[in-house]
Structure 1
């Protein structure tokens, strides 16, 4: 007796050298029932031992269309503490219901739901980032030290489109850089803390340097429950100016509601109290109760910022409930830093060059030597 792909028990006898071909086909073939059975369940994915790994998740039967069988596939990514997992969909086209189009809602269509675990989750999988169906391409998402769950549900069978390729493919990446590609120094012990050194930022042969800094996972949705610190340090007679080109941070009015995400600019060094506040969550941060400080959230760009001090700290905090596309800021160092080094724009290597201060000290030393001999 063997089990056929139709999931029915059919008595079949074998003798001599006759192989049970149908049984082998069920175990290793690609029938719709087999694909559905293999899909149901939970697949847990971890990073490699060194903390960096990349791979793909796909719909069953990929690169062919997935079968029109009731099924639910669950992929659960579990980054370690201090790690992030980023998920990017490269292809997305799911079967829609003819009764309720996917443009209205996903109730009757095949769909993907994405969840990120938080300490205040409202479902067993975490807080829902979104539900996607039809050709509505999911945003790039990221989870920080928390599980990220993708649930693929097949339920629509009444609206097959001839020639349509129903499937999805997504790339996952475990990383520790918060999706922030920069030459700024990252303080890994503090997590999302990046320092921009005015001496390193100078363009070759100039006294100015420019660049950009982003919310984590910029180009997608910033992660839940994340604190980021961007420190800018000027030297000599350098000045620091900041501008914001794009800004979509969840929050309303003065950004002081418990659930509001926010950005805060501090002109000067971080005090002990500042560091203590940086460690707490966005919901509990005492800075929201200090009416003398200006917080930024919503859809309006913060105004241009000209620092009065040699150090500027930009703090970004997200809560556990909502997300958006975040921000992109630009920084500008202007002036001579004294003894400095510059970064070559062609070779990306670091070139050391003496500043005017070092030259002056050297000439003074020579003059003193000759003076003492005379």
Structure 2
């Protein structure tokens, strides 16, 4: 009987140690759960939720194990109570009662801990539910934002298409305007070329008329020179005849000689003047001939350019100012020639 009581006491001690070990293990798990629960928020990450779920499963397994151990301890307690009642004279009732109270206290603590674990589990599930709700709300907001962005992109695309259409229309208008301006410029260029050609032809005609006038003036001057030579020869003969007439009155002879000398001087001066005019007309004739040659070359060049532009139908890149440049070079000489003629 004493051996049975000792074995029962040893088993109760082992049960106390297992209960205390289980309680410490549960407290460690509880502290491990309480630590993230204190820092957890409504937006708990999924990884922490998975870890919490695994801890809850471990706690549930520990709870089942502790429940089985509790049942086993209760059975042993019943056996111990029976043995105590049978061997009340040999075992100290106070020690057994103390052990029983201690086990009852441990069971009560375990029950409280179990209740706390259940509350924590409910809180964990509530947090998980709130997290799921928040995730759903975030997904809804994301979908709504995506739809709004798609609508804005569609509106911007429509606006861009409208602007591109307007730009294309403006480009078409500008192309048409440029084509019309090019045609107008080409027409103006052709008209300017024709005007310059006509002007060059008129200048050439005027130069030819001027040349004819100069030739006539030259012939007149040459005839006048011949007449002056004849008159000089006749004056020389008259002078010789006057020297032979010694019998005439000296006063009459001196008067006639003076008049003849005056007439001779006038004719000499007239001859010199005609010679100077002849030289000036010859110089002007040379200049006019040079200007006429230059104008003729310019006119030929303009005719060639005009013929190439008409046959090839290619727009001439040479500006009108450059086309008129050779004629402008000849114009000052023409003006100078006209001034000399007027003088």
TM-score (structure 2 length as normaliser): 0.23
Report which of the two structures shows the higher radius of gyration computed on alpha carbons. Answer: 2
With CA pairs under 8 Å and 6+ residues apart, which has the higher RCO, 1 or 2? 2
- Relative to its length, the structure with more helix (as a share) is 2
TM-score (structure 1 length as normaliser): 0.22
- Relative to its length, the structure with more strand (as a share) is 1
